[in-house]
Amino acid sequence: AQSVTQLGSHVSVSEGALVLLRCNYSSSVPPYLFWYVQYPNQGLQLLLKYTSAATLVKGINDFEAEFKKSETSFHLTKPSAHMSDAAEYFCAVSSQYSSASKIIFGSGTRLSIRP
Amino acid sequence: NAGVTQTPKFRVLKTGQSMTLLCAQDMNHEYMYWYRQDPGMGLRLIHYSVGEGTTAKGEVPDGYNVSRLKKQNFLLGLESAAPSQTSVYFCASSYSPGRADNEQFFGPGTRLTVL
């Protein structure tokens, strides 16, 4: 079975500060890991994904995430927050042994940016 | 391309009423999905389809039915709405052959309230 835990339902940072959103996964097989972003009143969009190539994955809008197998983590970071980054972020997990229907989403982290 | 579109955007039902949510995609994707999003619970898969004429149950299928008569459309039906079905419903699609690392493309959502 696979699962995802996002630590912190709400994170608030100042504009220009480092963004760190935490995601830990559980999987008995090598995972695929995703970060999706949901802007207000919109559907989810893919930010980045890890599929067993490079452990440091770069995504859109200067976001990146590092796969750490020893820590079962896939934390999302951005060096400098912009006001436009305010959104909800979802971590998700699947595996090469799963069908496309078996993507498990975390409960989400709402990111607020203080001026 | 419009991507994934959903109709309607908002709906209020009374307990026991029925309705159908329509999802359409113009990307020629084989796989389509219906999710519900509830506060603190992330996205949960209701039903999905791996191609025209096929449907399958997801994590929370009870009280819902679906149909995929045309490749580009995926309908979600509520036969007898209950207050527990108050939620935001998202449709998504992904590219064939439905690999688990494929990006899912989401519609803007339907906000449903059942009184």
Tens-digit pLDDT profile for residues A10-39: 999 999 999 999 999 998 888 899 999 999
- Can you give the pLDDT at residue A110? 96
Q: Which residues from A are below 8 Å from B98, CB to CB?
A: 99-101
And the tokens for A76? 């999302």
User: Which residue on chain A is closest to B100 by alpha carbon?
Assistant: A100
8 Å CB contact between B23 and B37: no
Compute the distance between CA of residue B49 and CA of residue B55 in angstroms, rounded to an integer.
4
Q: Does B27 touch chain A (CB under 8 A)?
A: no
Provide the pairing of β-strand B110-114 with B10-13: parallel
pLDDT at A101 over 80: no
Return the amino acid letter for B69: L
Q: Which residues from B are below 8 Å from A59, CB to CB?
A: none
Q: Which residues are bridge partners to A12 per DSSP?
A: A112
| Of B43, B90, B100, Cβ closest to residue A100 | B100
Q: What share of chain B is helix, strand, coil (3-state, %, to 5)?
A: 5, 50, 45
| Of B42, B100, B103, Cβ closest to residue A108 | B42
CA distances from B17 to A79, B9, B13, B90 (A): 49, 18, 6, 20
Q: Exposed, middle or buried, B15 (CB in 10 Å: 0-12/13-18/19+)? A: exposed
**pLDDT tier for residue B97 given thresholds of 50, 70 and 90:** low
Tens-digit pLDDT profile for residues A37-88: 999 888 899 999 998 878 999 999 999 999 999 999 999 999 999 999 999 9
**pLDDT tier for residue A100 given thresholds of 50, 70 and 90:** low
User: Which residue on chain B is closest to A108 by alpha carbon?
Assistant: B42
Tens-digit pLDDT profile for residues A42-51: 889 999 999 8
Best of B31, B38, B43 to disrupt the A interface by mutation (most A CBs within 10 Å)?
B43
- Can you give the pLDDT at residue A38? 93
Place of tokens 């949960």: B44
Q: Which residues from B are below 8 Å from A42, CB to CB?
A: 108-109
pLDDT at A102 over 70: yes
List all residues 6 or more positions away from B88 whose beta carbon is below 8 Å from its beta carbon.
B36, B37, B38, B109, B110, B111, B112
